[in-house]
């Protein structure tokens, strides 16, 4: 009998805490959202399952979790904690992104810059609440709506917040169709939502090849801290657009990004062990993250309205909301809301311009914060 009692004491059932149960329930919610609602299933499903994996308790000394130095999960998590996975994901994103709409209407890039205001206002909010500058920067970057960028910067500045920041960033990316529409309706009139934009011009192949090289040189020279992210993004795009490395581009945008996404999602989820995750700090990070997202959306929309004061060919301000990265979900939201007003108004191609510019903008913002706060 003593044997069975001793064995029972080593089981997860005995060691389970209410916190573990709560995290497992959250993991199940993530999985449900991915399967039933199709909210970012490629991310939410691995993260949700990872949360369950990370919250199965075990006897101390068994070294099973991501924070145990010799565990398998720890070795996989190394790619997250050392910021290795995010640049690899950026390589894949670069290899699958078509910058044509952005190149055909370059002024839309500025919307991607304006939306980054969410990062910096949230940074101030986090400082106000008592976070250190490094922690505040990691929280602010959630407003960039770019999971890999948030993980990259947090792994460099505030590794202890990695789980909370990553989960907040990916949760809000998945909730783009829920968070953005109220802000978009609040800040635009029906007349503005009905604006039709000129179709983009055809972009030559030489422009497409020229762009990743020059954009990388400019961004890396101004903010060397963004080198790993923008370098991989533009390198991936050059692989795609050069037409001479099709095999490499194909691998980067399919097998490689898929493998990295699986490893990153699972281990980020597994890093949310109740004992380290369920804290007051995490709740504040979630609140600030949501604020950051809403402010970033508002920033893009308001700047589009500001630009319209000077432009002959007006911009539909809805596409300003796509400046928050979250490719391509935020562009899709702009398209959906535009089509609710006018079913024949196709905003998606226009919204992709600030959307991809937002990716570059948030990488530059992360690079700046890293350069500024690195010790």
Among 13, 59, 72, 124, binds other proteins (CB under 8 A): 124
Q: Which is nearer to other proteins, 277 or 370 (CB)?
A: 370
Q: How far is the CB of 206 from other proteins (least distance, A)?
A: 5
Torsion of CA 82, 83, 84, 85, to 10 degrees: 130
Burial of 293 (0-12, 13-18, 19+ CB in 10 A): buried
Q: Is 112 in the site for other proteins (CB under 8 A)?
A: yes
User: What is the distance of C-alpha 94 from the center of its chain?
Assistant: 15
Among 85, 120, 286, 370, binds other proteins (CB under 8 A): 120
- Cα distances (Å, whole numbers) of residue 54 to 51, 85, 152, 307: 5, 19, 21, 47
Query: Both tokens of residue 216?
Result: 């990388």
Question: Residue 60's closest CA among 10, 8, 7?
Answer: 10
Question: Residue 147's closest CA among 80, 192, 211?
Answer: 80
Q: How far is the CB of 168 from other proteins (least distance, A)?
A: 18
Q: Which is nearer to other proteins, 13 or 213 (CB)?
A: 213
Q: How far is the CB of 225 from other proteins (least distance, A)?
A: 10
Among 25, 246, 255, 313, binds other proteins (CB under 8 A): 246
Among 88, 103, 268, 333, binds other proteins (CB under 8 A): 103
Q: How far is the CB of 154 from other proteins (least distance, A)?
A: 16
Would you say 338 and 318 are in contact if contact means Cβ atoms under 8 Å apart?
yes
Would you say 79 and 259 are in contact if contact means Cβ atoms under 8 Å apart?
no
Query: Which helix (H) or strand (E) segment is 179 a member of?
Result: helix 176-187
Q: Is 160 in the site for other proteins (CB under 8 A)?
A: no
Among 93, 150, 296, 365, binds other proteins (CB under 8 A): 365
Q: Please report, as ranges, the residues that interact with other proteins according to CB under 8 A.
A: 102-103, 106-107, 109-110, 112-114, 116-117, 119-121, 123-124, 127-133, 136-137, 204-207, 210-211, 214-215, 218-219, 222-223, 243, 246, 250, 357, 360-361, 364-365, 368-369, 372
């Amino acid at each position: 009998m003593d044997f069975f009692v001793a064995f029972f004491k080593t089981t997860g059932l005995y060691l389970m805490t209410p916190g573990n149960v709560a995290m497992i329930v959250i993991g199940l919610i993530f999985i449900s959202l991915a399967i039933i609602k199709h909210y970012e299933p490629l991310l939410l499903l691995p993260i949700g399952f990872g949360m369950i994996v990370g919250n199965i308790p075990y006897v101390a000394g068994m070294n099973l979790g991501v924070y145990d130095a010799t565990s398998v999960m720890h070795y996989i998590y190394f790619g997250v904690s050392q910021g290795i996975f995010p640049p690899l994901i950026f390589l894949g994103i670069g290899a699958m992104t078509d910058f044509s709409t952005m190149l055909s209407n370059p002024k839309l890039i500025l919307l991607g810059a304006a939306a980054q205001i969410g990062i910096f206002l949230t940074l101030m909010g986090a400082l106000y609440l008592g976070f250190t500058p490094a922690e505040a920067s990691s929280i602010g970057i959630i407003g960039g709506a770019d999971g890999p960028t948030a993980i990259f910067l947090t792994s460099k500045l505030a590794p202890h917040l990695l789980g909370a920041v990553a989960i907040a960033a990916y949760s809000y990316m998945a909730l783009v169709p829920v968070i953005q529409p109220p802000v978009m309706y609040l800040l635009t009139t029906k007349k503005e939502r009905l604006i039709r934009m000129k179709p983009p011009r055809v972009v030559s192949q030489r422009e497409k090849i020229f762009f990743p090289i020059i954009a990388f040189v400019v961004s890396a020279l101004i903010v060397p801290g963004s080198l790993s992210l923008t370098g991989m993004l533009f390198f991936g795009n050059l692989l795609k657009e050069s037409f001479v490395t099709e095999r490499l581009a194909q691998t980067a945008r399919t097998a490689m990004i898929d493998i990295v996404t699986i490893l990153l999602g699972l281990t980020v989820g597994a890093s949310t062990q109740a004992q380290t995750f369920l804290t007051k700090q995490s709740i504040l990070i979630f609140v600030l993250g949501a604020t950051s997202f809403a402010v970033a959306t508002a920033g893009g929309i308001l700047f589009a309205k500001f630009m319209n004061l000077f432009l002959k060919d007006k911009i539909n301000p809805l596409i300003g909301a796509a400046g928050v990265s979250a490719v391509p979900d935020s562009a899709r939201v702009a398209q959906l809301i535009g089509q609710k007003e006018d079913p024949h108004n196709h905003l998606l191609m226009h919204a992709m311009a600030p959307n991809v510019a937002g990716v570059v903008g948030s990488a530059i913002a992360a690079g700046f914060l890293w350069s500024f706060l690195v010790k």
